[in-house]
Amino acid sequence: MTRIAFMGAGSVVFTRQLIADLLGFDDLGPIEVALHDIDRQRLDVAEGTAHQLAERFGRPVTVSAHLERREALAGADFVIDMVQIGGVEATRRDLEIPARHGLLQTIGDTTGVGGVFRALRTFPFLSALTADMREVCPDAVLLNYTNPMAMNIWWASVVAPDITALGLCHSVYWTAHDLAELVGVPVEQTVHRAAGVNHQSWLLEWTHDGRDLYPLLEQKIAADPELRRRVRVEMFRRVGFYPTETSEHSSEYLSWFLRSPEQVERFRLQPLEYLGISDENVSEYHRAQEALRTDSPLPLEEGATEYAPQVIHSLVTGTPREIHANVPNVGLIDNLPQGAVVEVPTLVGEGGIRPVAMGALPVQCAAVNRPYVSVAELTVEAMRTGDPRLLRQAVLVDPNAGSTLTPEQIWRLCDELVEAHGDLLPEPLRELLPASAL
């Protein structure tokens, strides 16, 4: 029996879809789902969801729910991480406090000031999680969905190099599907490969029956002025390769878009968009509670197959697949720093997990990626050393922050965020560093 431990199982929609995808594999064999969350009510919803899905799919599933993490981890073959340390309130601070200082973000969970503070809230959890895994399930594979993806996998590689960890994100998958629909070809007939860093990878290969699809995409863009008001299209036109994350996300990783009201309007952006998404996630949780209370069927996303169930299926059954995953750069991308976390095609199956070496990125793509990598590197180093100056330097080198705020303003912003997050941050990094004291 394959035991899968869910960390942060109270993320009700995500847990629901992952379990449904797992149960869709008839040849996977019996599975054991061990659910962990620190919120009893959310854990109850996750447990009820698992039981309902098992009945709906007619599959034998052993379900257990645990408030204590190590109980859920004990004997696990796979650990799925999808936690949100600090919950919605911490996310709200990450977005609203910078906005009061004049620094706009859309999602705020990947890089930049929001990503830095989310990472520093999450790193202590990852340290504790991997320490527990080492003791109670040392051979388990850690499948991480928690953002900031690149920083979290990087930190895991620092504190637990003995634990196999993959960072999984659906951005490449959905980019390939959306672009295929745009140019009018069946996605299953296309070949695509991307590489770079998470949420800022580049579609390096994209063909249909051996034909490069980029010229067809260029024709579509030339014929539609509204397409040219999308961030990703602008990036493609300027850089030459299509980025694999949404326009909303991509806008906050660069200095080009959120710096002025004119650019926000031109590219149809919604600053602080994730606040509304967070509220909707809470509403969906309450709808799931009500559906379980009334024994109503929970909705499932049609045609969705997340990477974690695919990885589990491939490693258990030996079925070969190629996905895109986030792993430390050990000879995988030549012109990004070794040891940084990169996103590359990855083979999974009977031979285990084998990331594909992609050589050098186009030089302009690597140049756009490097500031993102530097923010991650400084954040990891701030955690490793406990140096509060490095925390501020991570925000200082972020293109979006640097295009909007002065260094002195960045110091003040970081002090306010440190105070707001309090003991959610590692203790050495709670020190205030007033800009005037430098």
State the catalytic residues: 170
CA nearest 195: which of 347, 336, 312, 353? Answer: 336
CA nearest 64: which of 72, 74, 73? Answer: 72
Cβ-contact 202, 363 below 8 angstroms:
no
Find tokens 């926000």 and name the residue: 264
Find tokens 């895994």 and name the residue: 133
Give me the phi and psi of 28, to 5 degrees please.
Answer: -75, -25
Dihedral sign, CA of 193, 306, 27, 33?
positive
- Name the DSSP class of 320: -
Listing DSSP states for 257-299 in one string gives STTSHHHHHHTT--TTHHHHHHHHHHHHHHHHHHHHHTTPPPP
- d(CA 7, CA 301) in angstroms, rounded, equals 21
Cβ-contact 5, 79 below 8 angstroms:
yes
CA nearest 311: which of 16, 80, 70? Answer: 80
Letter for the amino acid at 293? Answer: R
